[in-house]
Structure formats: C-alpha cells, structure tokens
Structure 1
Amino acid sequence: MQSKAVLGQAEVARILAAARAEAQQHNWAVAIAVVDDGGHPLALERLDGCAPIGAYIATEKARSAAIGRRETKGYEDMVNGGRSAFLSAPLITSLEGGVPVIVDGQVVGAVGVSGVKAEQDAQVAKAGIAALA
C-alpha cells in the first residue's frame, strides 16, 4: 500500500496567510482557493475589492491544477498556441493562476488565485505554496 502527505488545516492556513500577504504587499484584490488532490475545496478567501466572480474562477483554477496535476498555465499555453479543441477537455478552466501543491513528488492539492493579471495570480499562488517549504 502506498501513502502520501495530505493537506491539513494547519498547512491550508499557512498557504492562505502567505498568499494573502503576497497579494496585500502589491495591493492586489484577489480570491485565493485551496483544494485537496481531488479538487475538493479546503478553503477560500476573497480579499476586499475582489469581484465576486474571482472566488469562482480561483476555485476552478485550483481544481483544474489539482486534477490535471500541473499548472493551469500549461493549458492556457496550449489553447493560445492554437489547440482550441482543448477547450472541450473536462478541466473547468485553462487560465493561468492554478498551481499544484507537490510534496515528495506527489500532488496533494492546489492553489488557485484570480483577480489580477494571470502571471500575478500565479505569483500569489506560488507564494502561498512556498510557505510549506
């Protein structure tokens, strides 16, 4: 039988705090979602000033990164590169800003961020994940 790490509430709280700090440092109004390895929500925080749709998009970015086992930027690059058929894939979003949480080579969850430019969303997500190191 195999075993792997799972995200507990302590880790989720650290991810949210670090992601929030990164966003606030830049005055970015974003939504931050953390999901488990199956894409199921563990936490969601929408910072003041973030549009309500940001919460939905952040969650879907996180879910797509978790079940796809890769950053959502890869999907966005495929679509932008002309592979429009990929839009019908079972992933909810192919927008940059969803980043998997990888522990010992295994995806244990993901963070999705929405509210600013795509690369800034990803920057906030990665800052949150870095808090686990």
Structure 2
Amino acid sequence: MLLSSATAMLAAARAEAERLGVAVCVSIVDAAAWPMAFIRMEGTILGAIDVSNKKARTAALFQMDSADFALIACPGGGAYSLENTNGGLTSFGGGIALKAKDGSLLGAIGVSGASTEDDIAIAQAAAHALTA
C-alpha cells in the first residue's frame, strides 16, 4: 500500500466521522501489520488509540475483518481466546482487511472511539476511498 493511499483513507475516515458527529482514532497498517498512518481526532478517548491499532492488526494478520474474526474468537467459537495471541488482538468490529482486486492483502484499517456500528461505517468509507 502506498502512503498516499493511506493518507487518502485517513481523510475519508475523518470526513465520515465528522459527518456522523463522532471522534475516533484511525490506524492503517500494511500487509505485514506494521503502522503506516494514524490520526486521533480531538476529543477521542485515549483508550481508542490502542484499540484502533489492534483492530487494524487483527484484520491484517488474519486477512479478515475484525467482526468476522470475532465469530471464531468468541466463547464457543472454534478459536476461543485467539485474541490473546500476537501481542493482543481485538474481536469486535471496526477493523477491515484491505485487498487488491486479485485478492492479495494490501493492509488493513482499524477505527475506534464511537459505537461499533459507527466504527465499521467509518472504516468502510475509508476503504471505499482506497478503491475509488
């Protein structure tokens, strides 16, 4: 993923968060789950910094959205407690795996600070900016 793509995604995420009237943290990582870009909007709770990063890392490391990861990492799931691996992951929505048209992983985005539904919507808006 290019830095210019990551910064365009940050701008799209911020615009969507402002439209929704929420303050969030947005983390973008490359395909190896290393940080590429990050913003923390004014007024965002400090705990959202780590959560946004973990959502992005979860999506990149397992090549799936964090909401889908939650289905296997929950009690009764096939990999219960998997979120305790890899230095800590997150098993709820707001992390989206970013894939190229050929299906290869480009990286991931994680959004935290609003409701899970708003975090997902903001991440989806940012992901759309990658493909636009």
TM-score with structure 1 setting the length? 0.88
AA in 2 matched with 1:122: I
Runs of 4+ in 1 over 3 A off after TM superposition: 78-81
In structure 2, the partner of 1:20 is 14
Confirm or deny that 1:39 pairs with 2:36. no
Q: Which residue matches 2:99?
A: 102
Q: Does the 8 Å CA contact 1:59/1:112 hold for their aligned counterparts?
A: yes
Report the Cα offset of residue 75 of structure 1.
2.0
Note the 1:78-89 alignment, pairs <5 A: 78-80=72-74, 82-83=76-77, 85-89=79-83
For structure 2, list consecutive stretches of 5 or more residues without a partner in the other structure. none
2:130 matched residue in structure 1: 132
Which residue identity does 2:120 align to in structure 1?
A
Identical-residue share of aligned pairs (%): 31
How many aligned residue pairs are there?
A: 127
Residue 112 (structure 1) aligned with residue 104 (structure 2) = no
Q: Normalising by structure 2, what TM-score?
A: 0.89
- Structure 1, gaps ≥5 residues long: 1-6
Shift, 1:118, TM fit: 1.1
Q: CA deviation at 1:132?
A: 1.7
| Aligned-residue RMSD, C-alpha | 1.6
CA distance in 1, matches of 2:115, 2:76: 21
